[in-house]
Protein backbone atom coordinates (compact mmCIF):
# COMPACT_ATOMS: atom_id res chain seq x y z
CA UNK A 1 0.00 0.00 0.00
CA UNK A 2 2.77 2.32 0.78
CA UNK A 3 4.33 1.63 -2.60
CA UNK A 4 1.07 2.34 -4.39
CA UNK A 5 0.53 5.73 -2.71
CA UNK A 6 4.09 6.71 -3.48
CA UNK A 7 3.67 5.80 -7.10
CA UNK A 8 0.40 7.74 -7.34
CA UNK A 9 1.93 10.94 -5.83
CA UNK A 10 3.16 12.34 -9.18
CA UNK A 11 -0.25 11.71 -10.72
CA UNK A 12 -2.08 13.46 -7.88
CA UNK A 13 0.28 16.43 -8.16
CA UNK A 14 -0.42 16.73 -11.89
CA UNK A 15 -4.18 16.63 -11.30
CA UNK A 16 -3.94 19.40 -8.71
CA UNK A 17 -1.97 21.59 -11.07
CA UNK A 18 -4.36 20.97 -13.97
CA UNK A 19 -7.49 21.37 -11.87
CA UNK A 20 -9.38 24.68 -11.46
CA UNK A 21 -7.59 25.69 -8.31
CA UNK A 22 -4.23 24.58 -9.58
CA UNK A 23 -4.83 26.21 -12.95
CA UNK A 24 -5.65 29.55 -11.24
CA UNK A 25 -2.53 29.40 -9.08
CA UNK A 26 -0.31 28.55 -12.02
CA UNK A 27 -1.77 31.40 -14.06
CA UNK A 28 -1.04 33.83 -11.25
CA UNK A 29 2.54 32.63 -11.00
CA UNK A 30 3.01 32.99 -14.74
CA UNK A 31 1.59 36.51 -14.65
CA UNK A 32 4.05 37.47 -11.94
CA UNK A 33 7.02 36.26 -13.96
CA UNK A 34 5.76 37.72 -17.24
CA UNK A 35 4.85 41.19 -15.89
CA UNK A 36 7.08 42.06 -12.90
CA UNK A 37 6.60 45.16 -10.86
CA UNK A 38 8.12 48.22 -12.59
CA UNK A 39 9.61 49.45 -9.33
CA UNK A 40 11.42 46.15 -8.78
CA UNK A 41 12.67 46.18 -12.38
CA UNK A 42 14.21 49.68 -12.17
CA UNK A 43 18.01 49.49 -11.76
CA UNK A 44 19.65 51.12 -8.76
CA UNK A 45 21.16 54.53 -9.55
CA UNK A 46 24.93 55.04 -9.72
CA UNK A 47 25.81 51.39 -9.20
CA UNK A 48 27.69 50.80 -12.46
CA UNK A 49 31.05 49.17 -11.95
CA UNK A 50 34.08 50.99 -13.41
CA UNK A 51 35.17 49.83 -16.83
CA UNK A 52 38.47 48.11 -17.45
CA UNK A 53 39.81 51.24 -19.14
CA UNK A 54 38.92 53.38 -16.09
CA UNK A 55 40.61 50.93 -13.74
CA UNK A 56 43.76 50.89 -15.86
CA UNK A 57 43.78 54.70 -16.08
CA UNK A 58 43.40 55.04 -12.31
CA UNK A 59 46.27 52.61 -11.73
CA UNK A 60 48.54 54.41 -14.21
CA UNK A 61 47.78 57.79 -12.62
CA UNK A 62 48.82 56.50 -9.20
CA UNK A 63 51.96 54.86 -10.58
CA UNK A 64 53.12 58.08 -12.27
CA UNK A 65 52.28 60.11 -9.15
CA UNK A 66 54.35 57.74 -7.02
CA UNK A 67 57.31 57.86 -9.45
CA UNK A 68 57.23 61.69 -9.47
CA UNK A 69 57.20 61.77 -5.67
CA UNK A 70 60.19 59.43 -5.55
CA UNK A 71 62.06 61.59 -8.08
CA UNK A 72 61.47 64.67 -5.91
CA UNK A 73 63.04 62.88 -2.95
CA UNK A 74 65.96 61.81 -5.17
CA UNK A 75 66.60 65.50 -5.94
CA UNK A 76 67.53 66.16 -2.33
CA UNK A 77 70.85 64.22 -2.47
CA UNK A 78 71.78 66.35 -5.48
CA UNK A 79 71.22 69.53 -3.47
CA UNK A 80 73.25 68.01 -0.64
CA UNK A 81 76.20 67.38 -2.98
CA UNK A 82 76.01 70.91 -4.40
CA UNK A 83 75.98 72.55 -0.98
CA UNK A 84 78.73 70.29 0.35
CA UNK A 85 80.89 71.28 -2.60
CA UNK A 86 80.60 74.96 -1.67
CA UNK A 87 81.80 74.36 1.90
CA UNK A 88 85.02 73.20 3.47
CA UNK A 89 85.37 69.50 4.23
CA UNK A 90 84.97 69.96 7.99
CA UNK A 91 81.38 71.20 7.41
CA UNK A 92 80.36 68.38 5.08
CA UNK A 93 78.65 66.28 7.75
CA UNK A 94 76.62 69.27 8.96
CA UNK A 95 75.51 70.12 5.41
CA UNK A 96 74.48 66.55 4.66
CA UNK A 97 72.57 66.30 7.93
CA UNK A 98 70.78 69.59 7.23
CA UNK A 99 69.68 68.37 3.79
CA UNK A 100 68.40 65.15 5.33
CA UNK A 101 66.20 67.25 7.61
CA UNK A 102 64.89 69.42 4.75
CA UNK A 103 62.36 66.74 3.86
CA UNK A 104 60.98 66.77 7.40
CA UNK A 105 61.12 70.50 8.11
CA UNK A 106 59.56 72.03 4.96
CA UNK A 107 55.77 72.49 5.02
CA UNK A 108 53.39 73.23 2.14
CA UNK A 109 49.92 74.54 2.95
CA UNK A 110 47.06 76.31 1.22
CA UNK A 111 43.34 76.71 0.64
CA UNK A 112 40.96 77.61 -2.17
CA UNK A 113 37.45 79.07 -2.00
CA UNK A 114 34.90 79.82 -4.68
CA UNK A 115 32.94 83.05 -4.26
CA UNK A 116 29.82 83.10 -6.38
CA UNK A 117 29.90 81.67 -9.89
CA UNK A 118 32.73 83.78 -11.31
CA UNK A 119 35.42 84.22 -8.63
CA UNK A 120 37.87 81.76 -7.05
CA UNK A 121 40.47 82.80 -4.46
CA UNK A 122 43.45 80.53 -3.72
CA UNK A 123 46.16 80.82 -1.07
CA UNK A 124 49.26 78.62 -1.06
CA UNK A 125 52.37 78.91 1.11
CA UNK A 126 55.66 77.23 1.82
CA UNK A 127 57.65 77.46 5.03
CA UNK A 128 60.83 75.81 6.25
CA UNK A 129 64.34 75.20 5.00
CA UNK A 130 64.68 76.15 1.32
CA UNK A 131 68.24 74.88 0.84
CA UNK A 132 70.52 77.46 -0.80
CA UNK A 133 67.86 80.16 -0.34
CA UNK A 134 67.91 79.70 3.44
CA UNK A 135 65.09 79.26 5.91
CA UNK A 136 61.96 81.33 5.63
CA UNK A 137 58.51 81.63 4.20
CA UNK A 138 56.74 82.56 0.96
CA UNK A 139 53.17 82.63 -0.24
CA UNK A 140 50.97 83.47 -3.23
CA UNK A 141 47.39 84.73 -3.22
CA UNK A 142 45.55 84.25 -6.52
CA UNK A 143 42.13 85.63 -7.53
CA UNK A 144 40.61 84.18 -10.71
CA UNK A 145 37.73 86.14 -12.32
CA UNK A 146 35.58 84.60 -15.08
CA UNK A 147 34.54 87.83 -16.82
CA UNK A 148 32.55 86.00 -19.50
CA UNK A 149 32.56 82.72 -21.38
CA UNK A 150 35.56 83.94 -23.41
CA UNK A 151 37.43 86.34 -21.10
CA UNK A 152 39.29 85.40 -17.93
CA UNK A 153 41.32 87.69 -15.63
CA UNK A 154 43.75 86.55 -12.91
CA UNK A 155 45.60 88.70 -10.37
CA UNK A 156 48.34 87.21 -8.18
CA UNK A 157 50.23 88.63 -5.21
CA UNK A 158 53.54 87.07 -4.11
CA UNK A 159 55.62 87.50 -0.97
CA UNK A 160 59.04 85.95 -0.30
CA UNK A 161 61.12 86.16 2.90
CA UNK A 162 64.29 84.03 2.72
CA UNK A 163 67.92 85.08 2.29
CA UNK A 164 66.34 87.96 0.39
CA UNK A 165 62.93 89.63 0.46
CA UNK A 166 60.63 90.11 -2.49
CA UNK A 167 57.08 91.26 -3.19
CA UNK A 168 55.24 91.24 -6.49
CA UNK A 169 51.95 91.55 -8.37
CA UNK A 170 51.11 89.66 -11.56
CA UNK A 171 48.16 90.34 -13.88
CA UNK A 172 46.93 87.83 -16.47
CA UNK A 173 44.25 88.30 -19.13
CA UNK A 174 43.13 85.39 -21.35
CA UNK A 175 40.77 85.19 -24.31
CA UNK A 176 39.54 81.78 -25.50
CA UNK A 177 39.03 81.71 -29.27
CA UNK A 178 37.90 78.09 -29.45
CA UNK A 179 38.57 74.76 -27.73
CA UNK A 180 42.05 74.50 -29.26
CA UNK A 181 43.30 78.09 -29.25
CA UNK A 182 43.55 80.89 -26.67
CA UNK A 183 45.60 84.09 -26.46
CA UNK A 184 46.74 85.97 -23.39
CA UNK A 185 48.88 88.70 -21.91
CA UNK A 186 50.72 89.13 -18.63
CA UNK A 187 52.02 92.23 -16.81
CA UNK A 188 54.30 91.76 -13.78
CA UNK A 189 55.97 93.93 -11.21
CA UNK A 190 58.21 92.74 -8.43
CA UNK A 191 60.53 94.45 -5.99
CA UNK A 192 63.42 92.82 -4.15
CA UNK A 193 66.54 93.49 -2.07
CA UNK A 194 68.32 90.46 -3.56
CA UNK A 195 71.33 92.42 -4.84
CA UNK A 196 72.05 94.07 -1.48
CA UNK A 197 71.46 97.58 -2.87
CA UNK A 198 68.15 98.16 -1.17
CA UNK A 199 64.75 97.58 -2.70
CA UNK A 200 64.76 97.71 -6.52
CA UNK A 201 61.98 97.07 -9.03
CA UNK A 202 61.70 94.94 -12.18
CA UNK A 203 58.89 95.06 -14.77
CA UNK A 204 57.87 92.36 -17.24
CA UNK A 205 55.29 92.17 -20.03
CA UNK A 206 54.46 88.98 -21.93
CA UNK A 207 52.17 88.04 -24.82
CA UNK A 208 51.52 84.42 -25.69
CA UNK A 209 49.32 81.79 -27.28
CA UNK A 210 47.96 78.53 -25.86
CA UNK A 211 47.63 75.87 -28.55
CA UNK A 212 45.81 72.65 -27.63
CA UNK A 213 46.29 70.12 -30.44
CA UNK A 214 44.89 67.31 -28.26
CA UNK A 215 42.99 66.95 -25.02
CA UNK A 216 46.04 66.42 -22.78
CA UNK A 217 48.66 68.63 -24.49
CA UNK A 218 49.08 72.43 -24.41
CA UNK A 219 51.87 74.20 -26.35
CA UNK A 220 52.65 77.76 -25.18
CA UNK A 221 54.89 80.02 -27.30
CA UNK A 222 55.40 83.51 -25.85
CA UNK A 223 57.26 86.80 -26.33
CA UNK A 224 58.57 88.48 -23.19
CA UNK A 225 60.17 91.84 -22.45
CA UNK A 226 61.66 92.76 -19.06
CA UNK A 227 63.35 95.89 -17.81
CA UNK A 228 64.33 97.54 -14.56
CA UNK A 229 67.12 96.89 -12.03
CA UNK A 230 69.67 94.78 -13.91
CA UNK A 231 71.36 93.49 -10.76
CA UNK A 232 68.03 92.02 -9.62
CA UNK A 233 67.44 90.45 -13.04
CA UNK A 234 70.95 89.01 -13.05
CA UNK A 235 70.51 87.59 -9.56
CA UNK A 236 67.21 85.88 -10.38
CA UNK A 237 67.75 84.70 -13.96
CA UNK A 238 71.52 84.69 -14.57
CA UNK A 239 73.14 81.24 -14.76
CA UNK A 240 76.71 79.92 -14.86
CA UNK A 241 78.17 83.36 -14.42
CA UNK A 242 76.19 84.74 -17.37
CA UNK A 243 74.01 87.81 -16.81
CA UNK A 244 70.25 87.68 -17.16
CA UNK A 245 68.45 89.20 -20.12
CA UNK A 246 67.47 92.81 -19.36
CA UNK A 247 65.97 95.58 -21.46
CA UNK A 248 65.33 93.35 -24.47
CA UNK A 249 62.87 90.81 -25.80
CA UNK A 250 62.93 87.07 -25.08
CA UNK A 251 61.14 84.36 -27.06
CA UNK A 252 60.24 81.15 -25.25
CA UNK A 253 58.10 78.08 -25.71
CA UNK A 254 57.06 75.25 -23.42
CA UNK A 255 54.49 72.47 -23.28
CA UNK A 256 52.18 71.02 -20.62
CA UNK A 257 51.28 67.33 -20.75
CA UNK A 258 48.45 66.26 -18.45
CA UNK A 259 47.34 62.75 -17.51
Q: What is the pLDDT of residue 82?
A: 73
Reported as a single tens digit per residue, the pLDDT across 30-85 is 444 444 554 445 555 555 777 888 888 888 888 888 888 778 777 767 777 776 77
Assess contact for 191 and 167: CB atoms under 8 A.
Answer: yes
Give me the pLDDT at residue 221, please: 93
Give pLDDT, residue 61.
85
Helix axes 20-34, 2-18, angle to 10 degrees: 60
Q: How far is the first Cα of the chain from the last one, in angstroms, to the nearest whole number? A: 81
Q: Which residues of the chain have pLDDT under 50?
A: 1-18, 20-35, 38-40, 239-240
Residue 170 CB coordination number (10 Å) = 18
The residues spanned by each domain of the chain are: 51-105, 106-257
Length of the chain: 259
d(CA 133, CA 82): 13
pLDDT value of position 131: 65
pLDDT at residue 154 in the model: 93
β-bridge pairing 119-129 and 248-257: unpaired
The domain made up of 106-257 has a fold known as Porin (2.40.160)
Q: What is the pLDDT of residue 237?
A: 61
Amino acid sequence: MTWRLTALAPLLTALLLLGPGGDFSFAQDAAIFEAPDAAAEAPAAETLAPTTEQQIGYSLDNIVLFICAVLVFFMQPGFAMVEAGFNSSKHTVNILFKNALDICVGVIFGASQGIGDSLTVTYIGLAGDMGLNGEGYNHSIVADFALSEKWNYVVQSDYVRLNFDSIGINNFLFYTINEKLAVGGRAEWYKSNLAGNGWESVYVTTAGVNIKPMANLIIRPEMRYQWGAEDIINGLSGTNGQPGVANQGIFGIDAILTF
